Amino acid sequence: MPENELRLRYGINPHQAPARIYAKNGDLPLKVINGAPGYINLLDALNSWQLVRELKEVVGLPAAASFKHTSPAGVGIGLPLSDVLRKTYFVGDLELSPLATAYTRARGADRMSSYGDWVALSDEVDASTAQAISREVSDGVIAPSFTPEAVEILKKKKNGGYVLLEIDPNYNPPELESRDVFGITFEQRRNDAHITADLLQNVVTQNRDIPLAAQQDLLISLVTLKYTQSNSICFALDGQIIGNGAGQQSRIHCTRLAASKADTWYLRQHPSVLNLKFKTGIKRTDRDNAIDQFLSDDLTPAEEKLWRENFEVVPEKLTLAEKRAWLQGLQNVSMGSDAFIPFRDNVDRGQRSGVKYIVQTGNSLRDDSVIQACDEYGMVMVMCGLRLFTH
């Protein structure tokens, strides 16, 4: 087989065959180290690789992404984890390298959505990162390289079929990109806009103070949005995405989705969750589902029965008042929007989930109303002037 082509079993669905990827000029910039990637795997791989490569360039730290259906469920960088987050992410027994920490953050953002994900890593995969990945259900990983130890650990996943893709870190695609839709070819300049701190200069609110940690989180949100299906809103805190609302037709629905995910992320750190007594031998996936159900207020009797079977001691669920009280501690969250924010309801909903800093494109007819809402809450809003739609 030529090195500029990779034949696949089928495309997006099993009936869509034949399928392949190929390079129009030169060889493919990636090679398969293990397994047999599918069409969707490769879409996730190439989109997620761009995200982590760019994010490392922006923040100067190892970066990781957890992708599902061409959008990130989680993104993280290699900042140390608190003891609470180590317990929340179930990695208290692991020695984590900076890259493994970035992966743990990415995977821990939205564990329900990350089930069966695709992983992207900005740096060579070491044994520490491979060990963390080996515990989770996913389809494969893309990275610039793998240590021999990491390959041996990861090749054991999925009965030896776990996909490992190695990509040339120096590869850059042509300036123009094209795709076919219904037999018609679309062509445009690829989205090579650079995300830098210069985008955070146009502060439009009375409060103009953006600490360095918040600046970093705002930049993480912008890079994430660049590779998230539009419309999209994402929440970031402490070097990672904590809620991503992707692909909704209404921006307020994006905000509600991202905020709900952020609330769940924070509620998972509640002492009642950290002290849940699961049955011995419970699978990680069943444990994650049980935590999600523990935090849910809307279970059917059948779901309630199955949920209770996961515990040695069936816990008392948190009341709505207890949840609200705990969520008061979620503060200093950064919120990014991939286009302008059209109505203040997005700001109102963000504030309920601890949003203090917002970056958006700006130039809405209702900018004044949106800015006024931020001023009422003492928030900082930046208008970056850069739209980051992805379709």
Q: Which two tokens stand for residue 223?
A: 């890079």
Active-site residues, by number, are 68-69, 231, 391
SS3 for 335? Answer: strand
Number of neighbouring beta carbons within 10 Å of residue 1: 7
Q: Which two tokens stand for residue 215?
A: 């600046």
Helix axes 345-352, 367-377, angle to 10 degrees: 20
SS3 for 232? Answer: strand
Q: Tell me the residue type at 270.
A: H
SS3 for 381? Answer: strand
Widest pairwise Cα distance in the chain:
63
Task: List phi, psi (to 5°) of 125.
Answer: -75, 120
Give the separation between CA 180 and CA 187, rounded to whole angstroms. 9
Instruction: Assess contact for 244 and 110: CB atoms under 8 A.
Output: yes
Instruction: Assess contact for 65 and 51: CB atoms under 8 A.
Output: yes
As a 3-state breakdown, the chain gives helix, strand, coil percent values, each rounded to 5, of 35, 20, 40
DSSP 2-23: -TTEEEES-SSSTTS-SEEEE-
Strand partners, 189: 176
Chain CA centroid to CA 71, Å: 7
Instruction: Assess contact for 363 and 337: CB atoms under 8 A.
Output: no
Q: Which two tokens stand for residue 300?
A: 């059917």
Please list the alpha-helical segments (H only) found in 162-250: 212-226
Give the separation between CA 335 and CA 354, rounded to whole angstroms. 10
SS3 for 355? Answer: strand
Select from 343, 354, 373 the least CA-distant residue to 259.
354
Report cis status (omega within 30 of 0) of the bond before 29. no
